Structure 1
Amino acid sequence: MPNKLKNNNLKGLILCGGESKRAGTDKGLKTGNGTTWVKLVANKLENLGLDYFVSINSSQIEKYKNEITEKLFILDDLDILGPLRGILSAHQKYPKNNWLILACDMIDMDLQTIRSLINEFLYTEKHDFYVYKNEEFYQPFCGIYTADGLSKLLKKYSNKELDTFKLQNVFKNHDTLAIPINLNDPSFNNYNQP
């Protein structure tokens, strides 16, 4: 699969730039199984043969240099609230890439769930976004955000037409392939609390 991923400009992006207000500490630097969460998620992408980058804000550079090589950093540089800040910053830097987005706290995400998503992207008709959805919500991470879909969002942002930065609304208002999952799928466990 690695050659097919390269031919489709698919890269991984690990989101670490959030403020972690609910968690009380930088989630990417929390540890489990003897390693940091950002490395646990990076290992998943490496196991799939997927090149990746790490989205952080400028205040995190020194801390993350001990965990991830600096050439993999993409700094948040847009004035947007929420995860779109890191996602659109990555798109602005590499506008031809399609991005497989994982949050740094997606430590329970299994490789088969990621592979299934990649297969939807590679082998179905083209959409702007590919995400899982349970009975209630789209699950924005693990998701694939295409270069075309992100170009549309960046244009709306630049024209001040993006009325909300909530990903649930982005998916509802764009060409999104929603892949059904069970509400209690452990791959999507949330670790926002301390």
Structure 2
Amino acid sequence: MNGLILSGGQSSRMGREKRLIQYHGKTQEAYLFELLGKFCEKVFVSLNANQHSDYPYIYDAYHEMNSPLVGILSAFQHEPEQAWLVVACDMPFVTHETIQYLIEARDISQKATAFQNPDELFPEPLITIYEPSIFSDLLQAYQQGRKSAMRVLSQQPIKLIQAPNPQMLKSINTPAEYEEAIRK
């Protein structure tokens, strides 16, 4: 299984690249790279064409759409036979325990293993293990102009698990959310 740090978004609400924000005494990119490296064969940062990283990276191959789906598809295009443990760069409360819990719950007979979003009750696509068998479903959604990885997950046989601590799934997208997060 490979790890993928989703970082190719525009960060327009935050006003700066979320992967470069520090929460743990280092950039979120560095924190997640080290964290996923404890569990995955290889780890990559998903980037758009305007970004660069000192870590191994995969550029978004599908430029027509601005969606996390693009990063996931690009990872599968890079190594289609690998499962991908995907984590968004704007989730600072993801810990070793979060990843270990997800991996221990993994069911390779399903197309993915995902946490259920505690607020919306849908699969949380931004911290999920995607099995190789879901690649064609993701690609078909993209080709049909559908950009929601969550909707693809909702329509597939996946293992849905409850987060032991819902806070671990929290995304930080604005300066106000960042200020609140660093106070915790």
- TM-score normalised to the size of structure 1? 0.80
Q: Within 5 A, what are the aligned runs for 1:21-170?
A: 21-48=12-39, 50-61=41-52, 64-65=53-54, 68=55, 72-78=56-62, 79-121=64-106, 124=107, 126-133=109-116, 134=118, 136=120, 137-157=122-142, 160=143, 162-170=144-152
Structure-2 change in CA distance of 1:94 and 1:112 (3 Å): same
Give the equivalent residue in structure 2 for 1:5.
none
What SS does structure 2 have at the residue aligned with 1:33?
coil
Deviation at 1:48, TM superposition (A): 3.0
Give percent identity, aligned residues only: 31
Do the aligned partners of 1:38 and 1:105 also contact (CA within 8 Å) in 2?
no
AA aligned to 1:55 is S
Q: Within 5 A, what are the aligned runs for 1:163-178?
A: 163-178=145-160
Do the aligned partners of 2:84 and 2:130 also contact (CA within 8 Å) in 1?
yes
Do the aligned partners of 2:5 and 2:86 also contact (CA within 8 Å) in 1?
yes
Do the aligned partners of 2:3 and 2:85 also contact (CA within 8 Å) in 1?
yes
AA aligned to 1:127 is Q
Deviation at 1:96, TM superposition (A): 0.8
Give the equivalent residue in structure 2 for 1:3.
none
**Runs of at least 4 residues of structure 1 off by over 6 A?**
none
- Measure the CA separation in 2 of the matches of 1:168 and 1:34: 31
Unaligned segments of structure 2, at least 5 residues: 176-184
Unaligned segments of structure 1, at least 5 residues: 1-9
2:180 counterpart of 1:189: no
Structure-2 change in CA distance of 1:99 and 1:131 (3 Å): same
- Measure the CA separation in 2 of the matches of 1:52 and 1:130: 18
